[in-house]
Each structure stands twice: as structure tokens, then as C-alpha cells.
Amino acid sequence: MASGIFAIFDDIAALMDDVAVASKIATRKTAGILGDDLAVNAEKATGFLSSRELPVLWAITKGSLLNKVIIVPIALLLQVFFPIAITVVLILGGFYLAYEGVEKIVHYLFHPAKTGEEVIAKREDNAEEVERAKIKSAVTTDFILSVEIVIIALGTVLERSLTVQILTVSVVALLATVGVYGIVALIVRMDDAGYALIKKSDNKGLLSKLGAFLVKALPVVIKSLAFIGTVALILVSGGIFVHNIDYLHHLLPALPAMLKEALVGLVAGFLVVAVVTLFQKMFKDRTSR
């Protein structure tokens, strides 16, 4: 009886060891997407009042966890019974990411920035609506990126047992959420940490200088993340198309991979933006009659 229990413990230990090794490999494979996920979601989780930053981030985090709960079992089932569906879902998600990235570029180029007074007034008028819309957008983008993360992680353990596949993909999915949004939380609270350091040091010494640096660095970090997040959306979408559409994979072989992915993402994004703009215009004309 005792030997049977020890045998079970030995099997569990061996399984956990296999999962740890597989998770390490899968995490390394998904590192690029995780970096893009961080940049995109950090940019989406900023721009709120200080008192609303953590509640908004928590709402996005809960949405991200729900995304993983939905995606992991579906990805495992599709991989077994209908693998072509995974490629279709990835490509559709790629179009959404490309649209989000290019729409930001178009908005920046063709819509002049509002004055501070206009922005404040707008936020006071419909702050809750803007907050809900931004949370929804962040969770939707997280869903697409999560699909990519889960599928890449699954691809690293296809030759392992089903148990190892389930545990490895689940571990990577959980690490993706906790790691990404933990770092995002640290970023959005940089200024509060800086003010606390300044207050604690009575505005003197090294701690005060560090606090002042954190306060001054936050706007720069947020602007940088807005740029990096936009680039990440385009690169991830372009990567999805290049890696899953055979024609694009072999197109322009002499072109550096990152440049080709950026060009493909931009073209796809502009096409979707054009189609969406056309439909919006048609719908507006029809309703105005």
C-alpha cells in the first residue's frame, strides 16, 4: 500500500517535471507575443483618473482570465478534431489586430488633437462610457493575442501526452495574464510610487531624486507604450498572416521578416479600415434620409 502511494507521488513528480520543462520552452517561444501583449495592454490600461486605474486594470485582468478559460479548452478540442479552424480563427484575429493598429495611425494623422479643456469636458460628460469602451477594447484585443499565445504554446507540446499538453498550456496562459498585468499595474502606479518616495524623504536625498524620476518618467513611458503598442499590433497581425498563409510566407523572400510582417499588417489594416469606413458612411447616409 505504501509503495503504491510512493509510486503515485513519483508519477506526479515526473509529470510536474515534464510540465515545468515544457512550460519553459513554451514561454520562451511565446516571449515575443507576451512582449507585444504587454505593450498593447499597458497602453490600453492608461489614460484614466488615478482613482480608476487599478479598478479598470482589474476589470481587464478578469476579462483576460475569462478569455484564457474559454480559449484553452477550445484550442485543445480544435487541435484534436478540427485543426484547420485554428488557422481560420488566427487569420480573422489578425485582421482585427491590423485594423486596431492602422486605425490608431489614421486617427493620429487625420484627426487633430483636442485641447486640454475639450478633453477634460468630454471625459466629464461620458467618463463611464469611455471607460467601458476602453475595457471592452482591451479585453477583445487580449482575446486575439491570447489565442496566438495559447496556440504557440500548444504547438510546442503536440508530441507530448494530452495531460502534459493541458497542464503546459494552462500554466503558460496563467503566467501570461499574471505576468503581463502585474507589470502593467506597476507601470500605471509609477507616479504614485514616486510621490510616496518624495514625501517619505521630505524632498531630499536619493529617494527624492528617484521619486522625481518616476513621476517624470511616467508620461514618457505612456507615450512610448502608445507607439510600441501600435507597432506591436501591426507586427503581430502581419506575423499571423505570413505564418499562416502560404502565399504570403513565400512572398518577397529577400525582404527581412520583420519588415515583411509590418508591410503585410499595414496593408491588411488599411483594407479593413477602408471597408469599415465605407460601411459606416453608407449606414450614416441611409439613416440620415
Asked if residue 268 has pLDDT above 90, the reply is: yes
Whether the predicted pLDDT of 3 surpasses 80: no
How much is the average pLDDT of 158-178? Answer: 82
Query: With 70 as the cut, is the pLDDT of residue 24 above it?
Result: no
* Spatial CA neighbour of 100 closest among 147, 126, 138: 138
DSSP string, 165-190: HHHHHHHHHHHHHHHHHHHHHHHHTH
The per-residue pLDDT for 21 is 63
Q: What percent of the chain has pLDDT over 90?
A: 8
Average the pLDDT over 64-84 and give the result.
87
Exposure string for 258-287, b = 16+ CB within 10 A, e = fewer = eebbbbbbbebbbebbeeeeeeeeeeeeee
- For residue 46, give the 3-state DSSP assignment: coil
pLDDT band at 145 (very low <50, low <70, confident <90, very high): confident
Element (H, E) at 1: none
User: If you ran DSSP here, which 8-state letter would residue 139 be given?
Assistant: H
Tens of pLDDT along 51-63? 777 788 888 889 9
Residues 242-263: tens digit of each pLDDT: 988 888 888 888 889 889 999 9
The better pLDDT of the pair 157, 271 is held by 271
Task: Name the one residue in this structure whose C-alpha cell is 491588411.
Answer: 268
Between 39-43, 97-101, 154-158, 241-245, the lowest mean confidence (pLDDT) is in: 39-43
**Does the pLDDT value for residue 50 go beyond 80?**
no
pLDDT of amino acid 13:
62
For the CA atoms of 276, 59, 37, 274, the dihedral, rounded to the nearest 10 degrees, stands at: 10
CA distances from 68 to 139, 145, 154, 269 (A): 11, 10, 13, 26
Average pLDDT over residues 11-29: 63
Mean pLDDT of 269-284: 88
Which of the residue ranges 18-27, 117-126, 178-187 would you say has the lowest mean pLDDT? 117-126
CA dihedral 108, 142, 35, 101 (to 10 degrees): -20
Query: Does residue 26 surpass a pLDDT of 70?
Result: no
CA 238 – CA 230 distance, rounded (Å): 12
pLDDT single digits (tens) 183-225: 888 887 888 888 888 888 877 788 888 888 888 887 888 778 7
Q: Are 191 and 214 in contact (CB under 8 A)?
A: yes
pLDDT number for residue 119: 46
How is 130-155 classified by DSSP, letter by letter?
A: HHHHHHHHHHHHHHHHHHHHHHHHHH
Q: Are 217 and 197 in contact (CB under 8 A)?
A: no
In this structure, of 10-19, 168-177, 204-213, the range with the lowest mean pLDDT score is 10-19
Would you place residue 87 in the very low, low, confident or very high pLDDT band (cuts 50, 70, 90)? Answer: confident
In the numeric block, the cell 498563409 is attached to: 245
Q: 51, 189 in Cβ contact below 8 A?
A: no
What average pLDDT does the chain have?
A: 78
Would you state the pLDDT for residue 11? 55
